[in-house]
Amino acid sequence: MTEQVVSLLRGLPAEAVAFLIATVPIAELRGAIPWALTPPPLGGGLSWQEAYIWSVMGNLLPVPFLLWLLEPLSGRLRRWGPVDRFLEWLFARTRRRGKLVERYGPLGLVLFVGVPLPVTGAWTGAVAAFIFGVPFRRALPAIAFGVMLAGVVVTLASLGVLGAVRALF
């Protein structure tokens, strides 16, 4: 199965692969940007600008759908015991890690998403917005700004200090 996925991705343009990697929970920008910046055949060989743009766009794609669908889906899925236990675990974990969101609302959401640590990102940010009741019209721009900020951090980290200075000048 893994070989089939890899062979399918090898046939796609590097921009599309970076976009798709960024849509996947956990990988998100932390996986897409380093892959996109890595020279072929192991990576996409994109410029830092292309890596940033395609990865940020891919990471933002699921966000509006998550914000719209988390409440109705979680309500329906909680009827099943195993799913209810998983959602309870996910929500409890997000509550523990989401103190910034709880305290500062949309600004906390920007920081929560914008600092690229394990278990933070657009997907978890959408869950945190749902849990802490941040309205869609405030959550979407906050998560988008956080994703853009995280993209800058991951891009600079992936390029290294000298590579980042060289790329800017």
Q: How many domains does the chain have?
A: 2
- In this structure, how many other beta carbons lie within 10 angstroms of the beta carbon of residue 37? 24
- pLDDT tens-digit map of 65-74: 999 999 999 9
Q: Do 144 and 78 have their domain in common? A: yes
Verify that 72 and 53 share a domain, yes or no: no
Average pLDDT over residues 89-111: 90
In terms of domains, do 92 and 119 share one? yes
List the domain range (segments joined by +) for residue 31: 2-59
User: Is residue 50 predicted with pLDDT exceeding 60?
Assistant: yes
Average pLDDT over residues 162-168: 66
| pTM summary value | 0.88
Confidence at residue 9, expressed as pLDDT on a 0 to 100 scale: 79
The H or E element that residue 6 is part of is helix 2-10
Judgement on whether residues 50 and 92 belong to the same structural domain of the protein: no
Q: Reduced to 3 states, what is the DSSP secondary structure of residue 94?
A: helix
Question: Do 141 and 82 have their domain in common?
Answer: yes
163 part of a folded domain: no
22-45 pLDDT tens trace: 999 999 999 999 999 999 999 999
Q: Per the domain annotation, does 129 fall within a domain? A: yes
Q: Please write the tens of the pLDDT for every residue from 8-25.
A: 777 899 999 999 999 999
Given a cut of 90, is residue 98 above it in pLDDT? no
| Confidence (pLDDT) at 6 | 56
The pLDDT tens digits of the residues spanning 112-163 come to 999 998 888 999 999 999 999 999 999 999 999 999 999 999 999 999 866 6
Phi and psi for 57 in degrees, rounded to 5?
-60, -40
The answer to whether residues 51 and 75 belong to one domain is no
- Tell me, yes or no, whether 25 and 74 share the same domain: no
Query: Residue 155 domain-assigned?
Result: no
